[in-house]
């Protein structure tokens, strides 16, 4: 399945519409999620048809800057998971709304979920370069929501940062705001959780087994990821302390090792 998630910050120019149209016809994504289009819903509906999509929604919003669109074509068969496009509240005082909504969707969904889009938040200090330091409370709220939903970053290829703003050459701000978050079964412990849930639901219907698996994951995550979160905080604190010293020799190697450890976490 192919998904396109794109924060345009303005799709009104013909060249932007043309680029989107060419990409959609060439790659044929199953799902397209657009944010900050800065055009009205009627114009976005026309763009949807130009890109070859028959289904879609354009949520109403105040003003044109936050008009979003999600498009798809008819899918065959029964979906085995749910895709959720996310455009997080940018205001600090409202960020908790994004995390609460993610939790509520996850709790009410009987199938695995993929959350993707622009979350308007970073997970740690390494997710930002330039500008003012991010609020630890905001980052911790995002990390806690990820743990509560039992999801993990799927990773990506390309530039480290997904968003950039430059007021002047010396004031460039880069951040990792866009992510794909889903159930991640890369650890042997996860396989054990799935197996344990399956054995406890022998003879039950499929949806009952899925609910049992989700419950087991939440219990497992509450223990496992809480330890990981503490290790991340300790590593970031140690890295900040090392970066205060001269970045050369043994200290530089120490910083590299800590960064590698954070990437693995």
pLDDT in tens, 50-61: 889 988 887 766
pLDDT for residue 238: 72
What are 151-158's contacts with CB under 8 Å, separation 24+?
A: 151/106, 151/113, 151/115, 151/181, 151/182, 151/183, 151/184, 152/181, 152/182, 152/183, 152/184, 152/186, 153/123, 153/179, 153/180, 153/181, 153/184, 154/179, 154/180, 154/181, 154/182, 154/184, 156/180
pLDDT for residue 75: 72
Determine contact, residues 95/122, Cβ cutoff 8 Å: no
Q: Which helix (H) or strand (E) holds 197?
A: helix 188-200
Q: Name the band, by pLDDT with cuts 50, 70 and 90, for residue 121.
A: very high
In order of their start, the domains of the chain are 1-77 (3.30.110), 188-264 (no CATH)
Q: Hey, how many other C-beta atoms are within 10 angstroms of the C-beta on 170?
A: 7
User: How many helices and strands, by DSSP H and E, does the chain display?
Assistant: 7, 11
Q: Name the band, by pLDDT with cuts 50, 70 and 90, for residue 102.
A: very high
Q: What are phi and psi of 218, to 5 degrees?
A: -60, -40
Most confident of 192-196, 219-223, 261-265: 192-196
pLDDT for residue 45: 87
Could you tell me the pTM of the whole model?
0.68
Q: What angle do CA 164, 167, 168 make, to 5 degrees?
A: 110
Query: Is the Cα dihedral 9, 13, 15, 21 positive or negative?
Result: positive
């Amino acid at each position: 399945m192919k998904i396109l998630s794109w924060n345009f910050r303005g799709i009104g120019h013909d060249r932007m519409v043309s680029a989107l149209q060419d990409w959609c016809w060439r790659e044929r994504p199953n799902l397209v999620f657009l944010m900050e289009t800065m055009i009205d819903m009627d114009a976005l509906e026309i763009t949807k048809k130009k890109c070859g999509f028959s289904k879609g929604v354009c949520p109403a919003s105040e003003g044109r800057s936050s008009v979003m669109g999600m498009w798809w074509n008819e899918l065959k068969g029964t979906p085995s998971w749910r895709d959720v496009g996310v455009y997080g509240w940018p205001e600090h005082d409202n960020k908790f709304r994004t995390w609460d909504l993610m939790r509520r969707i996850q709790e009410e969904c009987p199938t695995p979920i993929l959350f993707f889009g622009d979350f308007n938040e970073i997970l740690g200090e390494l997710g930002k370069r330039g500008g003012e330091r991010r609020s630890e409370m905001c980052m911790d709220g995002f990390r806690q929501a990820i743990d509560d939903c039992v999801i993990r970053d799927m990773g990506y290829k390309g530039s480290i940062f997904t968003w950039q703003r430059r007021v002047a050459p010396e004031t460039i701000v880069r951040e990792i705001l866009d992510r794909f978050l889903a159930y991640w079964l890369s650890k042997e412990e996860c396989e054990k959780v799935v197996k344990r849930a399956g054995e406890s639901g022998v003879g039950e219907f499929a949806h009952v087994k899925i609910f049992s698996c989700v419950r087991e994951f939440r219990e497992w995550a509450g223990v496992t990821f809480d330890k990981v979160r503490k290790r991340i905080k300790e590593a970031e604190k140690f890295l900040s302390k090392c970066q205060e010293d001269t970045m050369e020799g043994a200290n530089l190697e120490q910083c590299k090792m800590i960064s590698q450890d954070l990437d693995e976490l």
